[in-house]
Every structure is written in C-alpha cells, then in structure tokens.
C-alpha cells in the first residue's frame, strides 16, 4: 500500500526486514528444538544463535541471481554464520518457513485490526448514547419512510462493527497455524514432534494436515473478515455522504481549519474522507475475490497464490487499518444539524404517518385493501401539495365516518414513533 494510506505499526509488519526477521526466528527455533533432541551439536547451535543475521540488500542481491527468495535468504544468513549454517533449514522446504511466517504476520496484523475496531466500537457507543434522542427521518430507497433517531443509526453500526471484531478474532484463530511438514506435508525429513514444539514456541498451532502449503481456505476466511469490515465501513461512509448532501445536510464530516474543498468553488465542504473510505474499501473488497481464487492450487501446491498474496494481504490489512483510523476521526468530530433534521421530518406533510393510519383503519373495520387505497389516495394528494396527511384525513368522509378526531390527534403524534427506542438500546446492551 502506498505511504499515503499507511500507518507505521501495520506497514512495518509487511516490510522485508520484518518478514526476513520472522523467517530467521523460525529457522533458529527449529535449530533449538533439533539441538534439544541431539540432532544439532550444542556448539553449532550457539554459533547459529550468536551469528545468524542478514542484510536485506544482500538477500535481494543474491535473489537477483538465483531467483528464489528463500535460497537467497539462507545463503545470506550462511555467509554470516559460517560452517554451522549447514544445520539451518535442515529437513525443511521453503513453504515451511514462508507459510509459517505468513501466519505470524497475519496474526500480528489481525491483532492491530482488533484494537482499531475496539476504538471504532467505543466511539460508536458514545455517539449512540449522545444522539439517542436526536430525531431524524428514516429512509428506504432514499425516500422518507418513518422517523428514527441519529443515535439508533449509530447503534446499528455499533452492533455491526462488534460483529466485524468477532469475525476477525475468529479469522486470527483460524490463521494461527504453522506448518513444518516438508515437501508434500508427509514429514519425510522432519518429525511431527519438531513441528509441534516449534509452533508452540512461535505462538501457533500445527496444521493438522498440510501439503507443501497451509491450505488457502484459511487465508480466504481471513480476507473475508477484512472485506466484510471494509464493506461495513463503506456502508457507514455512504450514509455520511448522503446525509451531507446540500439538499439534506443533516450531518457533515469534519472540515478542518485551513482546509479547502475545491480549487474553483470556495464554498465547497466536500465529504472527502468518507469518499476515501468508499474508494479504498472497493480495493479491499476486490482483493477478496483473489483470495478465493487462491484456494485452488495444483495437487500438493503450485505457486500461483504467492505473487497475489504479496499484494492483497499487505494492501488489505494496511488499508483497513488506515480506514478504521479515519472513521474514528470522522465519528469523533461529526457536525450534526438537528434543525435540518427536524425540517426534513416536517417537509413531507406527515406522510410518514401513512402506515399508522392504515393500521388504524384496519382496526376500525376497513379491509386492508380498502384502507390501503384510501390512505394511498390521500398520500398522493399530499405529494401534490394539497394539504398535510392529517388535514386530508380530517376532511375524508369515508375515514371520519368510523374514526373520531381524538383518534386522529392521538395517531398524528410523532412521539409514538419513539416509545420503543429504549428497548432497542437494551437489546444492544447500550443501556
């Protein structure tokens, strides 16, 4: 991922220095376990632990000649260690190191994402409580439906991002597996006991059955959790963008001092952060398809997944980390315009009471079909600016024949739409 959309803690995990350092940790851990079982002399292990090191530039220089990154790595380390290096990579195949290290990187990246999500969840909780009673219009198909509150909107995402956190936690658990089982996973030159002990030291579990690689359904599940989180971010950023439109202007993302919205139009205050979230979420979601394609490898393995993973895993984790940081900033600094929210509630002449009126007519003896027809006819007249729904209802002989004016006054009371908000908050554990 380009530096513009990267944060250091996450991007450091994917730097070559970090990757090769994990490779070296794995190689040394294997040597330690071998030494404990008398396979490597103690003196050679001491030399390996003292001298084993590398230079990224040297690895890349060797790789340019041999065209194999693991061979380049072991060769560069051997130059530092000397004769004792013959025990480094003993009994292993390249993917033993590469896949086990990748699991460690994905685990570390996932743990950062969990911390990010906890911050998002916390600010959503704060906003849900702060705006619990801030009334606004609910919309379906972009059209006014019935009233809700902005706090309920925040509570919705509070729950959604809690689910994202749980998905990523499950994905971390499912990717926290190592593999040191040799060329086709049959332990032909290394024992299962070595694998088990090395994985334990690395904070991983041994993959129960592997080929030359850890199977990529694990990686696809990991990417799925990331992509779904990106999708939820896109959903939230799209909500912000819609509500910031001039015709709506119920909320607005932060616009900082000195910020400029347009090179041509000085009045512009554009939702550029939310648009950035939408844009980068598309990249992450597209990477999900690549992860699914990577599941299909020839026989015990091919290498078609490798090049793709060098792009999609760093890019997706780094981008998601960045986006989660951005949404925290947006949510903490949102501008709300309650007067505009109320004006939007009022602008359709009470059309949002249509369902309640329909149900009242049914209760009073109308068939549902007749009640629907009556209310819809009046609603179309409201759209035509012939009056409010309440005014037209009071003027309707068919309706007033069975309904009293007191019924109407009780029905057209907006407070009735908010009588169960506390129940929603209790279900979400917010109160």
Q: Report the DSSP pairing between strands 177-178 and 205-206.
A: parallel
Residue 74: how many other CB atoms lie within 10 Å: 24
Question: Catalytic pick from 67, 141, 267, 299?
Answer: 141
- Active site includes 306? no
Q: Which residues contact 423 (CB under 8 A, 6 or more apart)?
A: none
- Active site includes 262? yes
Beta bridge partners of 177: 205
Please state, in angstroms and rounded to a whole number, the distance separating the CA atoms of residues 67 and 400: 86
Question: Catalytic pick from 103, 140, 164, 262?
Answer: 262
- The pair of structure tokens assigned to 25 is 């940790």
Please state, in angstroms and rounded to a whole number, the distance separating the CA atoms of residues 381 and 306: 63
**Which residues belong to the active site?**
141, 262
């Amino acid at each position: 991922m380009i530096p513009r959309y990267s944060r250091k803690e996450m991007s450091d995990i994917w730097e070559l220095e970090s990757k090769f350092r994990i490779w070296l940790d794995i190689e040394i851990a294997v040597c330690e376990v071998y030494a404990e079982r008398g396979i490597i002399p103690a003196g050679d292990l001491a030399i390996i632990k003292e001298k084993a090191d590398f230079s990224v530039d040297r690895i890349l220089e060797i790789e340019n000649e041999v065209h194999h990154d693991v061979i380049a790595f072991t060769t560069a380390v051997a130059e530092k260690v000397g004769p004792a290096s013959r025990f480094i990579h003993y009994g292993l195949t390249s993917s033993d190191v590469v896949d086990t290290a990748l699991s460690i990187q994905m685990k570390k990246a996932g743990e950062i994402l969990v911390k990010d999500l906890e911050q998002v969840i916390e600010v959503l909780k704060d906003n849900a409580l702060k705006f619990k009673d801030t009334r606004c219009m609910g919309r379906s198909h972009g059209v006014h439906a019935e009233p809700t509150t902005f706090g309920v909107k925040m509570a919705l995402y509070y729950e959604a991002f809690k689910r994202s956190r749980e998905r990523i936690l499950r994905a971390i658990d499912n990717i926290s597996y190592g593999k040191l089982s040799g060329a086709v996973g049959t332990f032909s030159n290394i024992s299962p006991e070595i694998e088990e002990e090395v994985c334990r030291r690395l904070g991983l579990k041994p993959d129960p059955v592997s080929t030359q690689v850890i199977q990529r359904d694990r990686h696809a599940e990991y990417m799925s959790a990331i992509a779904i989180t990106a999708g939820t971010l896109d959903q939230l950023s799209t909500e912000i963008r819609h509500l910031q439109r001039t015709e709506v202007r119920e909320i607005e993302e932060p616009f900082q001092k000195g910020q400029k919205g347009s090179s041509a139009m000085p009045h512009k205050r554009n939702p550029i952060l939310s648009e950035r979230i939408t844009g980068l979420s598309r990249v992450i979601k597209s990477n999900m398809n690549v992860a699914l394609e990577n599941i299909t490898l020839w026989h015990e393995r091919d290498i078609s997944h490798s090049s793709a993973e060098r792009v999609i895993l760093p890019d997706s984790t780094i981008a998601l980390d960045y986006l989660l940081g951005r949404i925290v900033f947006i949510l903490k600094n949102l501008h709300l315009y309650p007067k505009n929210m109320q004006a939007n509630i009022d602008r359709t002449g009470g059309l949002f009471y249509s369902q309640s009126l329909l149900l009242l007519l049914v209760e009073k003896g109308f068939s549902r079909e007749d009640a629907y027809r009556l209310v819809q006819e009046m609603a179309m007249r409201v759209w035509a600016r012939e009056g409010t729904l309440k005014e037209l209802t009071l003027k309707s002989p068919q309706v007033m024949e069975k309904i009293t004016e007191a019924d109407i006054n009780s029905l057209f009371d907006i407070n009735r739409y908010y009588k169960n908000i506390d129940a929603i908050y209790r279900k979400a554990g917010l109160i």
